[in-house]
């Protein structure tokens, strides 16, 4: 039996705002949209044509507060083919949540608080390298 990754799903409070963020910050585009009663599911794909997708789960109920991401919040990782240009663009957009110069990675944060790790092409993430700023 074999498995392959299909998508990751996150709940979003403002679908349009999330679509704009992911388009600007990570160049993700809408591949398809599914309506399940009141729930809208939007599947985003990347420019490279990866099979893996990000599913935005939008429920129209009114929320004044962010979703509780718990003690173990999810994060996603993207490889940037031009890391320095990506870093400059995200600085311009004002969405960088954390930079680790020692590890040559950084994280951006989406409108709902989800963290997205940006890694330069050819490098491993902090967990794969086993190194942190404190080392």
Catalytic residue among 89, 117, 128, 134: 117
DSSP-derived letter for residue 113 is S
Angle of CA points 81, 82, 85, to nearest 5° = 150
Q: Strands 75-80, 115-120: parallel, antiparallel or unpaired by DSSP?
A: parallel
> Can 117 be counted among the known catalytic residues?
yes
27 forms bridges with which residues in the sheet? none
- The residues that are catalytic are 117
């Amino acid at each position: 039996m074999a498995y392959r990754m299909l998508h990751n799903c996150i709940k979003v409070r403002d679908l349009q705002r999330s679509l704009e963020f992911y388009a600007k910050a990570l160049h993700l585009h809408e591949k398809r949209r599914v309506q399940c009663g009141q729930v809208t599911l939007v599947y985003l794909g990347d420019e490279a044509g990866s099979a893996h997708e990000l599913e935005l789960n939008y429920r129209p109920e009114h929320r004044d507060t962010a979703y509780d991401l718990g003690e173990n919040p999810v994060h996603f990782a993207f490889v940037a083919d031009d890391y320095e240009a990506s870093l400059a663009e995200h600085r311009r957009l004002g969405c960088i949540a954390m930079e680790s110069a020692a590890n040559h990675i950084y994280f951006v944060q989406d409108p709902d608080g989800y963290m997205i790790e940006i890694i330069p092409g050819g490098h491993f993430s902090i967990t794969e390298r086993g190194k942190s700023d404190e080392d």
